[in-house]
Structure 1
Amino acid sequence: MTEEHVIPIELLLATTAKVLASAVFVSGREPAEAFAHSAPSALHANQLPDVLRQHARWALDRPGRRVDIQLSMTPEVAAQLVAAHRAAYPGFETDWEGEERRLATLGNLKGSAQYVPDQGCLILPRDGDRSVVFEPIQLRRGPRPMSNWCGAHRPLPAVQQVIEAALGDKDAHHAALLVIRGGDIVGEGYAAGLSGDQPLESWSMGKSVMSTLIGQLVGSGALALDAPAPVPAWQAPGDPRAQITLRHLLNMSSGLRCTGQDDPRSSWRDGLPEHFLPYTQALDVEQFATNRPAEHPPATVGRYRNCDTLTLATIFHSTVRSLGSNPLTWPQATLFDRVGMHGLIQEPDRAGRFIASGFNYGTARDWARLGLLYLRGGLWQGDRVLPEEWTRFVRAPAPAWKQGQYGGQFWINSIGEFPLPPDTFYMAGGGGQYVFIAPSIDTVIVRMGHSCGWVNAKNKVNEALGALLPVLSLETA
């Protein structure tokens, strides 16, 4: 088979620019460090990170708050890109000679991203237009979570020893490890050069944030879990998408057509699964998500697809607007400030809708606070932040998932992927970002990592968890 664009190098450069811009202007990392550890690996093997690290060059405009990633496409680079892609997808055949010739004619390429205070960074379209079609707004955040904690800070030597040993494993690429037991911090550590006040790339853990915001709207009566999803594009007579509910979207079982990494490489358009396209271009979230056709009846197939979360983001945006509030400030006032999550940043598209499926940044303590909120059944120091039934819903197996490992934008440890109790449910993001919530041992564990370690991330996380659990069990005993 043949494709016009087998290797979407322009999209990959845009992702690299965006991730590097956020690392610098949101996280406060040094650009050389962030380029080495994060930016070229953001989409894992799809981004051909080894070739990009070798040949791409970054340019940082601090006063203009802009990052450009530039690549001079020589025949040598084109040949290396093709070789790397063929190695990543050994069963995939196409006109490789033609693709190599196409790449070699592209000349000097550039991907760009821009910081927009206080919203984060956005991919710029190829014409370089920096305008946005929403009004950026200053977010009044409190002190970053390192300045205080809602419980005690009482490090346990055995827990701290496990954390320090894990951080010393250079092949693990851990960025942060944090253990909460009984509401207290019993262990915490960060990679060299990082601090606990830096919001780090969190990727799909943002899905759990969007679930939490939707849960608050359901709890207030503004939305209903089993009513048809309020998406105008789906309401035409005979449109099968009119049967999709919020529950279906939250359970990742909407049935919308959206290719993913688990689909055959030959089914991808433009060289990437559609699941990744929101991270590669100046894309309109609402159009991307709600214009997708139906492929399966809702609640019949469970599969992990960004279109479901991004549809939730558009519903959140329109619902909060209908309540007379600003969607950009509503999460801060309604959720983050109430639990002290002052370092969490949700980046929007150019229309101001959150790219909630993945462009999220938070500190380890931000994520620990959200995990603790769920561990306490939606209560925060006596304040009912979430309906109690919502915490039960997000950890209940979605019926369409055959192995029961997914809930309501949270994963469930039902098949024992991690050496933690079977009642553990968790947030997860690309590159090994995790918040584990284990009610039976009254524990929250946060692990954040650099994308360059994605290949071994789960194994390294399991090593750390395997060392932690006996220590925590001894403490219980």
Structure 2
Amino acid sequence: MRRFIASAALLVLALGPTLHAQATATARPARIVLAPPTKGAPEAIKTASMASVIARGDSLQLPGTREPVPGAPLSHHIAGFAVTLCGAVFITGLEPADAAANVGFFAGPLKYRSEVKDTVIDRKTQTVKLTLKNGVTRVARRYGSQGCVPLPIGEDSVHFTPSIVKSALPPATTTPWPMGDVLPKKTDWAGVDSALVAQAVAEAFGPDSAMTLGFVVTYKGQIIGEKYAKGINLHSQLESWSMGKSLTGSLVARLIQMGVYRLDQAAPFPEWQKPGDPRQQIRIMDIMRMSSGLRILAPQDPGYKENEAVYPDHLYLYTGSVNEYAYAASRPQQWKAGTVGRYRNVDPVLASYLVRLGAEKLKQDYHAFPTRALFDKIGMRDVTIYTDPYGNFLGQGAEVIAARDWARLGNLYLQDGLWNGERLLPAGYVEYARTIAPGWLADGRPVYGGGFLWINGDGREPLPTNAFAFLGAGGQSAWMVPTHGLVIVRIGKYRGSNASEAPLRKGMATLMKAVKPL
């Protein structure tokens, strides 16, 4: 199998129905046909210098300036902290002191947590209330299956009706893996050195400083290695951050397979439909490649310099306590779509918006759609995706998910989108998703594909260069290795992310020795 690095001209997309067309159960799903893959992994591609990436971006910029986000940065940071505490305590099951010291630094940075003078954790109402030294109070509350929501300042409720979404699957305790949790008695697999696998699991889990919570390895879909920290188990829903982007891409792919969208169609957001709006040229595939070209500020922008007085839109899309879909759809263009790759939350938020529009087009319960369309199909039971106060899923990374469920999703990709004979993702979609995006390749950064997947194109990880991943802040990862039939999932506490890198790489290198190529 091969990761393609050439231009989008290699893609041939058969047209299917658009969002504006009538979607029916008999609608023909879009098919994505790519050039046939070749065997083996290609050579690593040299990464361009940061100065080169910045210069290229500057040369292609369209006229315009960024509009600052509303509100005080410190208030936003503490809203993020409140959501982190809410999820860690009420869903994952961590103790408040542990959560405050060790998790969720991305949306609620550790250095600002000392500004909180009063913390109230109400287990009865599943509410976290944080009051700053300046008197500002930020509140996050758990709402049904919609997770932990940051409430607007001065408000005590959300602008949607929360609901409980239950899996339609039979009990996992009596259902064989992967649809359930009952593992086969077989522990030895042809082509697998079990002793080396055990060594790899121990290495990858790392020392206590790595703070790994869950580690799962599957080979040809079967679990061959697994380990959890004390107090954590196979059902524990763990902070996964931007791994959720890949999950959102999978939901958009489900809608493509169901005949609602095409990858090559213009993104059908109502906010972009006025005559002459240049954003009508942005395709769904551009959004899914982090290449929409929309103008926001993100800490991952090349050359970004932190300024405590300037709060990035990238984070505001988690903590703003506004209609985040409307905010994302209101951003102007900075580059022509598809020309420049930038890791910015505006794109996965818009992809989540597509999921909402698509589910509503199908007249399905939006909050139940991920469960019915995907999770129930592949055995995922321990998933919570958070929403904003308007009930919009924040699929860019506000979720807690069990390690085994990430392994299930990873295996869906290794199986080319097929599960038990049913096509869940369009034919060719996985190849599209693990192909380096043209805008990123042109930037000299061979690391990002379609469907919000990361690619090992620069050979940074001790895996073949056609390995691809769901990655999240804090050291969260699920690597798919097609050449070896492996899915490698590592989830841990945010504080341990730096200490976890070397052990994880050592463990992955050992796995490459433990498992023979297919």
TM-score bracket, shorter-length normalisation: 0.7 to 0.9
| Residue 346 (structure 1) aligned to one of 376, 382, 385 | 385
Amino acid at match of 1:116: Y
In terms of mean alpha carbon deviation, does 218-227 or 4-13 score higher?
4-13
- 1:295 positional shift: 0.8
Structure 1 residue 411 corresponds to structure 2 residue 411? no
Structure 1 residue 202 corresponds to structure 2 residue 266? no
Alignment of 1:329-340 (within 5 A): 329-340=368-379
Over residues 319-375 of structure 1, what are the superposed CA-to-partner deviations in whole Å (9 max), with x where a residue is unaligned? 211211111101101110010001111111122211000101110110000000110
In structure 2, the partner of 1:467 is 510
In terms of mean alpha carbon deviation, does 261-270 or 224-233 score higher?
261-270
Measure the CA separation in 2 of the matches of 1:251 and 1:29. 35
| Residue 410 (structure 2) aligned to one of 371, 378, 381 | 371
In structure 2, the partner of 1:78 is none
Contact 1:206–1:360 (CA under 8 A) maintained in structure 2: yes
Over residues 185-221 of structure 1, what are the superposed CA-to-partner deviations in whole Å (9 max), with x where a residue is unaligned? 1100011221111110111111111111111111122
Contact 1:124–1:281 (CA under 8 A) maintained in structure 2: no
Measure the CA separation in 2 of the matches of 1:25 and 1:343. 14
Contact 2:202–2:507 (CA under 8 A) maintained in structure 1: no
In structure 2, the partner of 1:20 is 85
Over residues 375-424 of structure 1, what are the superposed CA-to-partner deviations in whole Å (9 max), with x where a residue is unaligned? 01111122222222111111111111123321111111111121111121
In structure 2, the partner of 1:301 is 340
In structure 1, the partner of 2:20 is none
Amino acid at match of 1:281: G
In structure 1, the partner of 2:140 is 113
Amino acid at match of 1:31: P
| Structure 1: unaligned runs, 5 residues or longer | 73-105
In structure 2, the partner of 1:58 is 119
Over residues 414-460 of structure 1, what are the superposed CA-to-partner deviations in whole Å (9 max), with x where a residue is unaligned? 11121111121110111111111111101100011111123444444
TM-score, length-normalised on structure 1? 0.85
| Structure 2: unaligned runs, 5 residues or longer | 1-67, 188-193
- 1:268 positional shift: 6.5
In terms of mean alpha carbon deviation, does 429-438 or 279-288 score higher?
279-288
In structure 2, the partner of 1:225 is 263
Over residues 268-326 of structure 1, what are the superposed CA-to-partner deviations in whole Å (9 max), with x where a residue is unaligned? 69532211112223121212210000111111101111101111111210121121111
- 1:467 positional shift: 3.1
In terms of mean alpha carbon deviation, does 51-60 or 389-398 score higher?
51-60
Q: Greater share of helix residues, 1 or 2?
A: 1
Alignment of 1:319-468 (within 5 A): 319-402=358-441, 403-408=445-450, 409-468=452-511
Partner-residue secondary structure (3-state), 1:440 = coil
Structure 1 residue 185 corresponds to structure 2 residue 237? no
Partner-residue secondary structure (3-state), 2:153 = coil
Q: Cα 1:249–1:146, aligned 2, differ >3 Å: closer, same or farther? A: farther
In structure 2, the partner of 1:285 is 324
RMSD of aligned Cα (Å)? 2.5
Structure 1 residue 211 corresponds to structure 2 residue 222? no
Measure the CA separation in 2 of the matches of 1:246 and 1:459. 36
Partner-residue secondary structure (3-state), 1:135 = coil
Over residues 242-283 of structure 1, what are the superposed CA-to-partner deviations in whole Å (9 max), with x where a residue is unaligned? 100101100111110011114455696953221111222312
Contact 2:210–2:497 (CA under 8 A) maintained in structure 1: no
TM-score, length-normalised on structure 2? 0.79
Measure the CA separation in 2 of the matches of 1:460 and 1:59. 37
Q: Cα 1:51–1:277, aligned 2, differ >3 Å: closer, same or farther? A: closer
Partner-residue secondary structure (3-state), 1:242 = helix
Measure the CA separation in 2 of the matches of 1:258 and 1:132. 26
Q: Cα 1:247–1:265, aligned 2, differ >3 Å: closer, same or farther? A: closer
In structure 2, the partner of 1:149 is 177
Contact 1:248–1:298 (CA under 8 A) maintained in structure 2: yes
| Residue 8 (structure 1) aligned to one of 42, 65, 73 | 73
Amino acid at match of 2:164: Q
Alignment of 1:35-184 (within 5 A): 35-39=100-104, 41-43=105-107, 47-50=108-111, 52=113, 58-72=119-133, 106=134, 108-127=135-154, 129-141=155-167, 142=169, 148-150=176-178, 152=184, 154=186, 156-184=194-222
* Higher RCO (Cα < 8 Å, 6 or more apart): 2
In structure 1, the partner of 2:357 is 318
Contact 1:5–1:270 (CA under 8 A) maintained in structure 2: no
Contact 2:203–2:503 (CA under 8 A) maintained in structure 1: no
Contact 1:145–1:366 (CA under 8 A) maintained in structure 2: no
Over residues 24-74 of structure 1, what are the superposed CA-to-partner deviations in whole Å (9 max), with x where a residue is unaligned? 2222222222222204x234xxx54145269665321011110123343xx
Contact 1:152–1:185 (CA under 8 A) maintained in structure 2: no
Measure the CA separation in 2 of the matches of 1:259 and 1:153. 51
Contact 1:285–1:314 (CA under 8 A) maintained in structure 2: no
